[in-house]
């Protein structure tokens, strides 16, 4: 559900157990990928960064690379063919993880992506594709990964819990797809839930399901018609040494307008938060007007392991025709995240 962007360089990184004040702030002007590169995600492999985006200009999954997260080179289509379960249209929000190594061999790369279902073309669903190398091409599996009866499933993102080695995928149940009209088709009562789901998978392949999905967050009145675009990390809790906090980044409100934002919710009670929804922050992380008025409709954030590097998109101008990729560095203190 990427070339010269919003860069925030902080003297204190997220993983350091310190509350020292920020001594300097530096923002690099403009988007790091100025062309259309919506719903961006990234992965770092051998000190190189690789980014992926929603379909554009005939490519299912546009791909780019960078040595520094600032200057990016567009590389082509990382997944030329979608899975047999899909019509092949509207390939959205791809994200790539590398699985743990097996038998002293490097782990396989798995791409999760959204596309239109062939069985029900009114639904978007989630698929998986694999590659032995980060450059692909990724070979899509014929079977659908997730397709909720509650409207479909979109915006997948893989996550390795380094605490216990378990592998997961988070995604959105696309409830507004079966809404009753209005803002993003879910502004008219009764409002349909758009929960973020957590699905455990086999770490040996990244797509075999282990049990069923668990809800970890849903929309509330402040979120408008929906929440979407989840990205999950686990970092040390600097306010309680020896413990960890799970941080779920997400977007809320409708992407087609100035209310779209990036926010986050946290859990200090394990990855499922004891069966309860994560606790939302008191205010969004990014909104229209952030970065001294440069950003419009910032969303679709992906945060890398350790909670330092982040990419997201923002509209060029005030329409979503072109959504550019921006880059920022996070600072995390306890359960509070900032990007300045």
Q: What is the pLDDT of residue 4?
A: 37
pTM, two decimal places: 0.92
Task: Give the number of other Cβ atoms within 10 Å of residue 173's Cβ.
Answer: 26
Say what percent of the chain tops pLDDT 90.
89
Q: What is the pLDDT of residue 340?
A: 64
User: Which residues, 6+ apart, have CB-to-CB distance to 195 below 8 Å?
Assistant: 172, 173, 175, 215, 216, 217, 218, 219, 227
Q: What is the pLDDT of residue 194?
A: 98
Q: What is the pLDDT of residue 49?
A: 98
Q: What is the pLDDT of residue 102?
A: 84
Q: What is the pLDDT of residue 29?
A: 63
In Å, how far are 198, 200, 249, 281 from 337, measured between CA atoms? Answer: 22, 26, 10, 9
Q: What is the pLDDT of residue 92?
A: 97
Residues of the chain with pLDDT under 50: 1-27
Q: What is the pLDDT of residue 103?
A: 83
In Å, how far are 16, 99, 155, 173 from 158, measured between CA atoms? Answer: 24, 10, 10, 16
Q: What is the pLDDT of residue 105?
A: 87
């Amino acid at each position: 559900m990427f070339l010269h962007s919003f860069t925030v360089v902080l003297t204190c990184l997220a993983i350091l157990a310190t509350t020292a004040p920020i001594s300097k702030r530096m923002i690099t002007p403009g988007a790091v990928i100025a062309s259309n590169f919506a719903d961006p995600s990234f992965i770092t492999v051998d000190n190189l960064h690789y980014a992926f985006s929603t379909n554009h200009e005939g490519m299912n999954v546009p791909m780019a690379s960078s040595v520094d997260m600032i200057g990016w080179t567009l590389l082509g289509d990382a997944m030329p063919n979608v899975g047999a379960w899909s019509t092949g249209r509207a390939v959205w929000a791809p994200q790539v993880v590398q699985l743990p190594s097996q038998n002293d061999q490097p782990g396989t790369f798995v791409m999760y992506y959204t596309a239109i279902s062939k069985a029900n073309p009114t639904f978007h669903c989630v698929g998986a594709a694999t590659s032995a190398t980060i450059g692909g091409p990724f070979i899509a599996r014929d079977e659908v990964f997730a397709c909720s009866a509650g409207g479909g499933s979109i915006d997948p993102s893989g996550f390795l819990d380094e605490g216990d080695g378990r592998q997961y995928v988070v995604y959105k149940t696309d409830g507004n797809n079966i809404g009753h009209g209005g803002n993003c088709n879910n502004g008219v009562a009764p409002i349909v839930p758009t929960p973020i789901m957590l699905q455990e998978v086999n770490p040996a392949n990244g797509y075999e399901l282990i049990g069923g999905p668990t809800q970890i967050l849903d929309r509330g009145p402040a979120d408008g018609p929906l929440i979407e675009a989840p990205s999950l990390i686990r970092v040390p809790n600097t306010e309680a040494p020896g413990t960890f906090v799970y941080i779920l980044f997400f977007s809320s409100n409708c992407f087609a307008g100035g209310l779209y934002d990036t926010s986050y919710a946290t859990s200090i009670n394990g990855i499922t938060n004891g069966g309860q929804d994560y606790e939302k922050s008191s205010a969004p992380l990014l909104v229209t007007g952030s970065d001294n008025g440069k950003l419009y409709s910032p969303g679709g954030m992906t945060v890398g392991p350790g909670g330092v590097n982040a990419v997201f998109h923002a509209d060029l101008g005030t329409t979503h025709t072109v959504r550019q990729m921006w880059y920022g560095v996070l600072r995390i203190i306890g359960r509070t995240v900032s990007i300045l």
